A and B are shown apart, each in its own frame.
Chain A
Amino acid sequence: MTRERFDRQLQMLLDQVLVLGSMVEQSVLDSLGALKRRDLAAAHRIYEQDQKVNEKRYSIESGCVTLIATQQPMARDVRFLAAILEIITELERIGDYAKGISKINLLLSEETLDPFILIDLQQMAKLGLDMLRRSLDAFVAGDEKVAREIPDEDDAVDELYNQIYLKLVQQMIAEPETIDRANHMMWAAHNLERMADRVTNICERIVYVATGEMRELDTSEGYEAGLN
Chain B
Amino acid sequence: MLESDSNFALQAHNLNIFYGDFRAVKDVNLSIERKKVTAIIGPSGCGKSTVLRSFNRMNELVPTARSEGQVLFMGQDIYDRQVDPVEVRRRIGMVFQKPNPFTKSIYENVAWGAKLNGFKAGIGKPNMDEWVEYCLRKAALWDEVKDKLKQSGLSLSGGQQQRLCIARTLAVSPEVILMDEPASALDPIATLKIEELMRELAEEYTIIVVTHNMQQAARVSDFTAFFSMNGDRAGFLVEYGNTNQIFTIPQNKMTEDYVTGRFG
Contacts and interface: CB of A to CB of B under 8 A. Distances in A.
Interface of A: 1-3, 6, 72-79, 211-212
Interface stretch (B21-29, B124-132, B248-256): B248-256
Contacts, number: 39
Given A78-B248, A79-B248, A212-B249, A72 B263 contact: no
B248 A75 contact: yes
B192 interface: no
Given A74-B248, A212-B248, A1 B264 contact: yes
A2 to B, nearest CB: 6
Given A74-B247, A212-B248, A212-B249, A1 B259 contact: no
A92 to B, nearest CB: 25
Contacts of B218: 74
Give 3 closest A-B pairs by Cβ, nearest first. Answer: A212-B249, A74-B259, A3-B261
A79 B264 CA distance: 22
Contacts of A73: 260
Nearest to B245: A212
A79 B260 CA distance: 11
A74 B213 CA distance: 13
B230 interface: no
A30 to B, nearest CB: 39
A1 B214 contact: no
A6 B262 CA distance: 10
A211 B249 CA distance: 7
Contacts of B256: 75-76
B215 interface: yes
A79 B215 CA distance: 16
Given A72-B215, A74-B214, A74-B218, A79 B249 contact: yes
Contacts of A78: 247-248
Contacts of A76: 256, 260
A29 to B, nearest CB: 38
Nearest to B43: A1
B249 A1 contact: no
Contacts of B249: 75, 79, 211-212
A191 to B, nearest CB: 35
* Max chain A Cβ within 10 angstroms of own Cβ: one of B214, B249, B260: B260
A120 to B, nearest CB: 42
Given A72-B215, A74-B218, A3 B262 contact: yes
14 contacts: A1-B262, A1-B263, A2-B261, A2-B262, A3-B260, A6-B261, A72-B215, A74-B248, A74-B261, A75-B249, A76-B256, A79-B248, A211-B249, A212-B249
Contacts of A77: 260
Contact of B250 (A3, A6, A72, A75): A75
Nearest to B250: A75
B102 to A, nearest CB: 37
Contact of B260 (A74, A211, A212): A74
A57 B26 CA distance: 50
B153 to A, nearest CB: 34
Interface in B166-219: 214-215, 218
A77 B260 CA distance: 7
B198 to A, nearest CB: 19
A211 B251 CA distance: 9
Contacts of A74: 214, 218, 247-248, 259-261
* Max chain A Cβ within 10 angstroms of own Cβ: one of B247, B249, B250, B264: B249
B143 to A, nearest CB: 32
